[in-house]
Structure 1
């Protein structure tokens, strides 16, 4: 019996020499064959690009975001605005005729900023624009005057205030200059230092028990392997100032746009293309962690997880985390974007909400764009629709859609 098995195995080998067996037995096993398969998507990639950048869908993600941002405004975890945003998107995704639109419940932190007020008393009287960092605590109701003021540049007009926990020793607050330098007990930094500065500070921040919230989900169900998932995402919550248009309205809306473009072209990939709009990202990926705990039992069916959360400015390419074999495949997919000259692939995908999956070996991708101005507006009153550019969002949507669709439709999942 052993000899019969050996003879069978020897006869079996030549048929698959230099190849790996696949789920359906039909997958091209050499990289040259994979390149040919990817090249076969050139007409579909061109159709996606034409629709997103030049066609009827031109500016659609921007226009959708503008209505959303102007209607809802900022969407801090636990806020009524975030509740309204989730209801808005649930309805909008249904109206877009996407499939399996549903909400998955999670618990998220609930912190409110409250009143914030600061006045410089010395060396002169001057009102200071302040913005407390998240999870700051309140001052006493009457506020307080700094007892041992640090040396800072009093030319600074915008100061962030970080209130420490009540059991901290030595101080209960610190002043962090935005765009300037502060002396906090070390060497002097450049600036007109040495002047005693006395500040009156009043903050009314409050932390409440965790609130109920939802991750928002929609799909285009796969035609052949519906249980296998290509996930595209952005987070729906935002900071509590500005409009959250950049962080992360843009990422959320180009992810929605990816499904809309695929649907509009009448395409249905082999695998399910799933949109997830995360909640509670700004508090450390709270909603995404609970999503991971709920779905990790099916981790072998997650082909790639993608998140856009660094703005939707001029796209430069794609950042990727995965094996060398998977990277080579994604690099080849990026060549389909040559018509818009966005073909680069970078090391290490970045995304708070997809880190859980990547740490467990699931390939991950994030949009790489020009973030040179990102931190001009990040978590500030400046994060509004004036930051967004419709042409840049069109290009971002094209990149996001081509990559996600091709991966979802290829004969085999990305190797791990």
Structure 2
């Protein structure tokens, strides 16, 4: 009898709540697609500011611009969080060629890896040894590698549908290649660009020397995939060819920068924080439209859409535009450090850092019981062709918030074209589709709305 009474009372309430959610999501998508601001913001970030390398003037301009735009939204609070970040500059354009015979050279496309030292004055010329990944260095040993330039030519695995998995399978040659090659006496490192297509665009990215003293560091550069194939073929025909490259990059002392933060204070549980964000810095070759201008403007749009649809959050919704994801994660670590010092309670954190392509869904770093609750909302997203709800990774910038309780999530757009642009000169505004960007913003807002409305407790919270 009690069970029947419960169903009689509660079922209409649940039905009404579901209809309310359907209506709210519809309103969010409609506002984003017909009255959105994300594309306009991205246009300014990309075309009026451009590449936002950590520690650069453009990064400073991006901080000022996004802070001003967040203030214009009428949020309850907007502020800058200071953080010391690395400063590295590329210098004049890099130059490289393959020398197959005295006076016979073939120019190739390269770019310095972020954090690399420069080549010696006048450039670096030497024989080149091709390896299929970091693991092969030990096999060849010092006898084969000493005094030579190491050419890492392990490609992204083309038969993996998840392109981020393919990226993860070979990114260590870019990040650790120089550090490892030094152990065997190499004089320099050339790395195949992490890109699934053949083109002439070298893709930069962060690299590390570990604890190597400055005097032992060797220059490292990426080579385009098309030229990597050419170099590999020429080495097969003649292993004694020479490679020459010149780059003028420099490392400076750390400088002060900022995370940009804005929030709507929760009306019922202000102590519970829901964070959404992307990283404001980018590499310098393009204008950082996909990586990660898109994630920044989508995160800003989440707060605007909640206000625009008249929804008053129960919990504090906070947007964080992190600085220095690309070559240090300093902004992410600073944000988590300050949150811990203040004893802040983060219920949920969502990151968009996979490009502004068509959204497919989300991956969640959480416990099974938390995921079970989230998965129950999946039918609400299916009319918008959002089908991907899986447990997995989240995002680099929200990773430091992981504590076993906070649910972390990453927006998962279609990733098939992402690495065509990632860290390359064609990561530019014209390669972002307005509608796809706006769909991503609406999808993020919808999830934030549901997290805020229902939380993760099985019982409703009662204010005392």
Into which bin does the TM-score normalised by the smaller protein fall? 0.7 to 0.9
Map 1:316-355 → 2, pairs under 5 A: 316-355=360-399
TM-score with structure 1 length normalisation? Answer: 0.82
1:360 CA displacement: 4.3
Take 1:31 and 1:119, find their aligned partners in 2: how far apart are those partners?
72
Aligned to 1:201: 245
Question: Is the 8 Å Cα contact of residues 109 and 227 (structure 2) preserved in structure 1?
Answer: no
Q: Of 23, 31, 34, which aligns to 1:43? A: 23
Take 1:368 and 1:110, find their aligned partners in 2: how far apart are those partners?
30
Take 1:213 and 1:414, find their aligned partners in 2: how far apart are those partners?
41
Take 2:274 and 2:12, find their aligned partners in 1: how far apart are those partners?
24
1:395 CA displacement: 1.1
Aligned to 1:122: 100
Secondary structure of 1:257's match? helix
- CA RMSD in angstroms comes to 3.2
Aligned to 1:21: none
Over 3 Å off, 4+ runs: 30-40, 160-169, 180-183, 188-192, 297-300, 411-415
Cα–Cα, structure 1 residues 273 and 34, in superposed 2: closer, same or farther, change >3 Å? farther
1:344 CA displacement: 2.6
Aligned to 1:173: 188
Cα–Cα, structure 1 residues 275 and 126, in superposed 2: closer, same or farther, change >3 Å? same
Aligned to 1:113: 90
1:201 CA displacement: 1.7
Secondary structure of 1:125's match? strand
Aligned to 1:95: 72
Take 1:399 and 1:266, find their aligned partners in 2: how far apart are those partners?
17
Take 2:119 and 2:39, find their aligned partners in 1: how far apart are those partners?
40
Question: Is the 8 Å Cα contact of residues 130 and 161 (structure 1) preserved in structure 2?
Answer: no
The alignment status of 1:150 with 2:129, answered yes or no, reads yes
- Range moving further from structure 2, 309-318 or 353-362: 353-362
Secondary structure of 2:355's match? coil
The alignment status of 1:85 with 2:77, answered yes or no, reads no
The alignment status of 1:259 with 2:259, answered yes or no, reads no
Secondary structure of 2:451's match? helix
Cα–Cα, structure 1 residues 34 and 369, in superposed 2: closer, same or farther, change >3 Å? farther
TM-score with structure 2 length normalisation? Answer: 0.74
Take 2:320 and 2:375, find their aligned partners in 1: how far apart are those partners?
24
Take 1:407 and 1:232, find their aligned partners in 2: how far apart are those partners?
12
**Consecutive unaligned residues in structure 1, runs of 5 or more:** 1-14, 16-29
Secondary structure of 2:122's match? coil
Take 1:176 and 1:68, find their aligned partners in 2: how far apart are those partners?
30
**Consecutive unaligned residues in structure 2, runs of 5 or more:** 3-9, 132-150, 154-172, 194-224, 460-464
